Amino acid sequence: MKALQCVELGMPDKLQINEVANPAVMPDHVLIDNKAASVNFPDVLMIQGLYQFQPELPFSPGGESAGIVSEVGEGVENINVGDRVFAMTGLGAFAEKIVAHKSSVVKIPEAMDFETAAALPMTYGTSLYALKQRAELKEGETLLVLGAAGGVGLATVELGKSMGAKVIAAASTQEKVDLCLQHGADEGFIYPSGKLDRDQQKELSSKIKELTGGMGANVVYDPVGDDYSEPCIRATAWDGRYLVIGFAAGEIPKIPINLALLKGMKIVGVFWGAWVGMYPEENKKNFEELFQLHSDGKINPEVSDSFSLDDGAKAIAHLKDRKAKGKVIIKI
């Protein structure tokens, strides 16, 4: 089978398309013929050796895919050959076939296409867990979303609206802000790209306070980090929740921890992957909720760009260079 492989750490242009042996099906696992896979920021970090865990070389990146079950291992129940599924493997999805543990495989509704299914697990799974289990977002609260035109950002915009929040979308261009408004954001504004000086940080805080009537945001969803984090914390409301999602802007911010004291607020880590491993049944309920929201037309993953497996390196570079609006998909 064909697979996109990382044979040496570096930029996407170092990735190779290689012929590799079909993976063997072990007990409690299934073999899936992949039809689509989704590109996520951990893929960008992993091929450079910058992610929190590092697989041995060579490896195929890709943490989530959708396809058809072609073989079932011993000990697998309720998953059958021919089932349409998505799988959350964390690794190996950018290939024609993948073996996945039964606990990471979820059947998808008949009405859902493979591209949508591949785009849904990590972004919407992370965002629903963040808003529901971690922030306990309430109807009528104000939700600020940074990086709002990205995959997790747009998912959060849609989910925040479905939960009855007022959603403020922050993005780097007017085109991206407009996309967020199309997905249901109540307000949107442009923030500067790159490193922010103190004046720019103060302007960011002031803009958030202006859009919240001086009260600040009840919940901040931050997948960006770096210089953007502190001004958003300064513009968080009393008893607010600041969600630590990731650090797409590069640097892990150093936060004056006294701000949490002064605002009576919570700085809340969101590690969806670890939670899934510890609470698989709760995660399954979240996916059932997501399927219903999709069926009701309240969420719809935005697939902005599709690439072939042969162009998989270009797909990862597209996300790395921040050209994506919504999800980037590799069709297989």
| All domains of the chain in start order, with CATH | 2-120+301-331 (3.90.180.10), 123-273 (3.40.50.720)
pLDDT at 280 over 90: no
pLDDT range class, residue 193, cuts 50, 70, 90? confident
The Cα diameter of the chain in Å comes to 61
How many Cα atoms are found within 13 Å in the side-chain-facing hemisphere of 16? 10
The arithmetic mean of pLDDT across residues 226-245, rounded, is: 95
Name 209's Cβ contacts closer than 8 Å, sequence gap at least 6. Answer: 215, 216, 235
pLDDT range class, residue 302, cuts 50, 70, 90? confident
pLDDT in tens, 202-214: 999 999 999 999 9
Closest to 154 (Cα-Cα) out of 165, 146, 142: 146
pLDDT range class, residue 60, cuts 50, 70, 90? very high
pLDDT at 288: 94
pLDDT at 248 over 90: no
pLDDT at 87: 96
pLDDT in tens, 105-128: 999 999 999 999 999 999 999 999
pLDDT at 195: 87
The arithmetic mean of pLDDT across residues 134-161, rounded, is: 96
Phi, psi (degrees; rounded to nearest 5) at 122: -70, -45
pLDDT in tens, 155-180: 999 999 999 999 999 999 999 999 99
Phi, psi (degrees; rounded to nearest 5) at 121: -60, -60
CA geometry: angle 275, 39, 56, nearest 5 deg: 75
pLDDT at 86: 96
The arithmetic mean of pLDDT across residues 8-15, rounded, is: 96
User: What is the number of residues in the chain?
Assistant: 332
Rounded distance between C-alpha atoms, residue 230 and residue 51, angstroms: 23
